[in-house]
């Protein structure tokens, strides 16, 4: 008889995080995206805080973002980073 202390409802959505390496600073940066990036895994061009634009491959690096996880830049959709 274990009392169920917490109801497991829907989890809050904190978006997704795509990590990418910054060649200029040698640091790992985080890009937050609101919509699930798995719909389109073609490369994106990320305007890095270092001033350069880095080409980033999407699929292997995406994951759910934790509630309090910091990020370096943010977009609603990866389409914003595919200028064409």
Instruction: For the CB of residue 11, give the shortest distance to Zn ion in the complex, in Å.
Output: 32
Cβ–Cβ under 8 Å, residues 37 and 62: yes
Cβ 79 to Zn ion shortest distance, Å: 21
Binding test (CB under 5 A) with Zn ion, winner from 18, 48, 56, 78: 48
- Site mask for Zn ion (CB under 5 A), range 17-46, x = bound: -----x-x----------------------
Residue burial 40-77, b: 16+ Cβ < 10 Å; e: rest: eeeebebebeeeeebebebeebbeebeeeeeebeebee
Q: Give the residues lining the site for Zn ion (CB under 5 A).
A: 22, 24, 48, 50, 52
């Amino acid at each position: 008889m274990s009392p169920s202390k917490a109801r497991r409802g829907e989890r809050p959505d904190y978006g997704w995080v795509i990590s990418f390496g910054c060649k200029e600073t040698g640091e790992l940066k985080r890009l937050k995206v609101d919509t699930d990036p798995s719909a389109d895994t073609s490369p994106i061009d990320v305007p890095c805080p270092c001033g350069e634009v880095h080409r980033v491959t999407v699929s292997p690096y995406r994951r759910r973002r934790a509630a309090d996880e910091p990020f370096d830049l943010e977009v609603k959709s990866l389409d914003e980073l595919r200028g064409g």
